[in-house]
Amino acid sequence: MRPPGTSGVLSADRVMWIPYAQRGSIYPVVPLVQELRRRGKDILLLGPGRLEPLSRTLGVGFRSYTSGISYDWSERGKSDEHALGPEVLGRSWLSERVRAEFLEVEDAMSSFDPSAILADSFVVGAGLAAESRNIAWASYVHYLFDESAEVDAMYRNWWESHGPEHEAYRRWWDDLRGSVGVGPEPRPPGDASWLRMSPHLTFLLGHPLLRRGRRELPRYVARTSFPPWDENEADADSGAWSSRTQRRPRVLVANSSAWQDDFALVRETLSALADENVDVVATVAAEHDLDADVPPNAVVSGYSSHTRLLPHVDAVVSTAGYGLVSKALWWGCPLVLAPRGRDQHYVADAASRAGCGVRIPWPPDPNELRGAVKTVTGSALIRERARRLSGPISGYASPGRAAEMLLDLARRP
């Protein structure tokens, strides 16, 4: 892609990265950003001020961005505004936010002059700004994406209106495009569920086992197989877990990193395994009332780097959150999953069908938890099935291949 009136071969040395400012949304794409840095590319992270430390960790440039969604999922009663819907905030709220994103990204592009944009698909204004400037852009999807979806279910609370679903969605989308001065969407109706994402190149992140739907993908969508990445912030005490020899089984239990009423999983797991011949580490990222006794065989920490812990554990107990399950599969860890809602049920079913884990009902019962942990740590077949799912998946784009695809896009006439 090139601006009108230019000629010759474009360079591909400057990439503007625009993430959605939530840990679970950012970390899956970091291996691609690191690969671009290894190739000597100039990366600018455009994001809220709280991401500046991340830019230093990754060795990329930083520019503060103020137009993103304001949210705080760290404790009860706090949430992000985009989940409230037009009945609460008014139907114009989203178009006003997208326009603010659009203008701020345009301003940043004017000063940084990127060869390409790499944007989270939740930052709708970024792709529209790139389109208006005729700059190549790639998007990425970091949550469980339903490849069989007919329309954009993640934004359903914003586009729902009277009339047939496809017509309502397309009308909403074209109105949103019109609010920033770009014309109607040129993609065909069959691409409806992908309209927030780049028509040039879109990366599907996460473990391939957890994909939903088997429909043929648009030509611009690429499934990936990236290694997990976490910031090394406050870590659980895993120093004694460095050796894989002569030790008893180790179990990681983690609830959601965003506040949900799911601490019962941690509490019941600590109780269930208190007298078992295992070691337990529990990570609790959001604020919860820690009304649980911590037995001698367990430690409890706040936010911790799961990618540091997972190579040393024999089982993972979770609510089947997409991020943690994807990481556990990369490391070949057997799973005990107690889903509560949303896509957690699909993730738990996928792992159960693959034979790499056991699903138990919610609310978790200590006896069922204890039995499930004994099953996954004691079954050679479950361990082998989990092992076969570990590491990069053949046929899915690695960070190196994804970097080549993005840079090729940036050089394209």
User: Is the pLDDT assigned to residue 112 strictly greater than 70?
Assistant: yes
pLDDT tens track for 284-293: 876 667 777 8
User: Is the pLDDT assigned to residue 153 strictly greater than 80?
Assistant: no
User: Is the pLDDT assigned to residue 265 strictly greater than 60?
Assistant: yes
pLDDT at 69: 65
- Which of these, 336, 343, 377, 389, lies nearest to 360 by C-alpha position? 336
**pLDDT band at residue 3 using 50, 70 and 90 as cut-offs:** very low
d(CA 307, CA 311): 7
- What percent of the chain has a predicted confidence (pLDDT) above 70? 88
Question: What one-letter code names the amino acid at 210?
Answer: L
User: Is the pLDDT assigned to residue 164 strictly greater than 90?
Assistant: no
d(CA 145, CA 295): 39
Please give the mean pLDDT across all residues of the chain.
87
| Range scoring the smallest mean pLDDT among 81-95, 151-165, 220-234 | 81-95
Average pLDDT over residues 258-279: 88
Q: How far is CA 90 from CA 93, 160, 356, in A?
A: 6, 13, 45
The winner for highest mean pLDDT among 5-14, 167-176, 234-243 is 167-176
pLDDT tens track for 51-78: 999 999 999 999 998 886 666 666 676 6
User: Is the pLDDT assigned to residue 251 strictly greater than 90?
Assistant: yes
Average pLDDT over residues 169-186: 94
User: Is the pLDDT assigned to residue 352 strictly greater than 90?
Assistant: yes
pLDDT at 351: 93
User: Is the pLDDT assigned to residue 6 strictly greater than 50?
Assistant: no
Say whether the peptide bond before residue 364 is cis (omega within 30 degrees of 0).
no
Tokens at 7, concatenated: 């000629």
The CA radius of gyration of the chain, in Å to the nearest whole number, is 22
User: Is the pLDDT assigned to residue 2 strictly greater than 60?
Assistant: no
SS3 44: strand
Average pLDDT over residues 85-89: 73
Half-sphere exposure for 296 (CA within 13 Å, toward CB): 3
**pLDDT band at residue 366 using 50, 70 and 90 as cut-offs:** very high
pLDDT at 86: 73
User: What is the value of pTM for the model shown?
Assistant: 0.90
pLDDT at 243: 45
